């Protein structure tokens, strides 16, 4: 990724990522391993609702791999069960890292939807 219209660099991004964005709080969502696999979708929907609700209260959030990169250490230090998912929550800062942008493809370039609606 290249620097695009940003004062922040990839190094800044990676440093912030490793430091878990200095999030003041983390939310852990869990589902038992014995539940049907489709429960992951329910958990994802709940996670999205949680993040939208947080945004409505001016608290930012993100789901990030770095937050769960070392799950055994997280579980050991925080007494968290193996099934738990992690979402970082925090207030946005004016730090330069929040100006970072990247060269990701636009959604419409990488995603196409072919929707068909049947009314019964």
pLDDT digits (tens, 9 = 90+) for 2-24: 444 456 677 777 777 666 667 67
Q: How far apart are CA 119 and CA 41, in angstroms?
A: 25
N- to C-terminal Cα separation, the chain: 48
Name the residue with higher pLDDT: 46 or 65: 46
Annotated domain spans of the chain: 10-110
- 10 to 39, 42, 50: CA distances (angstroms): 35, 34, 28
Using CA atoms, how far apart are residues 33 and 18, in angstroms rounded to an integer?
28
CATH architecture of 10-110: 3-Layer(aba) Sandwich (3.40)
Q: Please name the residue that has the structure tokens 């207030």.
A: 91
pLDDT of residue 3: 43
What is the pLDDT at residue 1?
Answer: 41
Q: Average pLDDT of 100-106? A: 78
Q: Which of 70, 48, 71 is nearest to 61 (CA)?
A: 48
What's the mean pLDDT in 80-101? 70
- The pTM of the full predicted model, rounded to 2 decimals, is 0.56
């Amino acid at each position: 990724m290249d620097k695009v219209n940003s004062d922040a660099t990839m190094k800044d991004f990676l440093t912030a990522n490793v430091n878990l964005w200095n999030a003041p709080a983390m939310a852990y969502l869990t589902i038992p391993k014995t539940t049907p696999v489709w429960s992951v979708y329910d958990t994802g929907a709940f996670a999205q609702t949680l993040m939208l609700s947080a945004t409505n209260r001016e608290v930012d959030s993100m789901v990030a791999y770095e937050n769960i990169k070392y799950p055994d250490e997280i579980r050991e230090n925080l007494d968290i069960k193996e099934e738990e998912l992690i979402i970082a929550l925090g207030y946005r800062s004016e730090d330069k890292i929040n100006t970072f942008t990247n060269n990701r493809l636009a959604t419409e370039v990488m995603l196409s939807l072919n929707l068909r609606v049947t009314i019964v």
